[in-house]
Structure 1
Amino acid sequence: MTRELFSVETDARLTTVDVTDRIAAAVPADLESGTATGFVEHTTAGLIVQENESRLRGDLESFLRELVPDEGHAHDQLDGNADSHLRAALLGPDVTIPVEDGKLALGTWQSVLLVECDGPRTRTVSVTTVGE
């Protein structure tokens, strides 16, 4: 088992960042078969597997805004970011991807996206790989 960390800078309150290459780079060269798990170490961001297409990424952001209103939540009395926590809860903090022949076994249109829900921020993502 190996574990590597990397940072991601985001530039907007709700945005997506393609981190596929960063996760792939964390897969050890000698890992022929196994899994790679990416985990964002924050409660107001998530990781998803989705197509990295600009219009779809915009649709995803709009969808999250429609599902979770920006205001009107009890936690807002504390620090004004309940919407970010709720959106991240819908997405989840992690993805697990098979590794085959030393590479992420993603489908043709699949990418790993970090979804920032409370930016701009610096986020930490850990990648844990396990071989079979």
Structure 2
Amino acid sequence: MPTRFTVDTDERLTTVDVTDRVAAAVPDDADGVCTAFVRHTTAALVVQENESRLRGDVADFLAELVPDEGHAHDALDGNADSHLRATLLGPSVSIPAADGDLELGTWQSVLLVECDGPRSREVAVAVAD
């Protein structure tokens, strides 16, 4: 059964380190694959270095790659850019788990990428053998 937690964001396009919260959802004796999944179409999860300048670079890169305006979906609710940015990154990450620990590399963290904030986001975490 997945464990869920909520992340509140405070900017339209930003990143939030959720590594500790994902790790806390992994059972102490878990061995297998941990999957974290953000339950929204305008947010994403990535494994990346949690360094403030790089996190800013990620947001800047997405803003430059996908223009804020000029998309057909904007006629509906004005956030097509958010959907497109999240589509590029994807809603989930899979990380090996051993003895209840995430097998992340030295500089790897799990980041939630907010593309349409500020919002409250829900992340589901499950471990499969």
| Alignment size in residue pairs | 129
- Relative to the length of structure 1, the TM-score reads 0.96
Percent identity of equivalent pairs: 72
Aligned to 2:25: 26
- Relative to the length of structure 2, the TM-score reads 0.98
Which of 72, 75, 80 is equivalent to 1:74? Answer: 72
Which of 74, 96, 118 is equivalent to 1:98? Answer: 96
Aligned to 2:14: 15
Runs of 4 or more, structure 1, over 6 Å off, are: none
Any conservation in 1 of the 2:45–2:90 contact (CA below 8 Å)? yes
How far apart in 2 are the matches of 1:112 and 1:77? 33
Mapping 1:1-132, distance limit 5 Å: 2-31=1-30, 33-131=31-129
Q: Secondary structure at the match of 1:109?
A: coil
CA RMSD, 1 decimal: 0.6
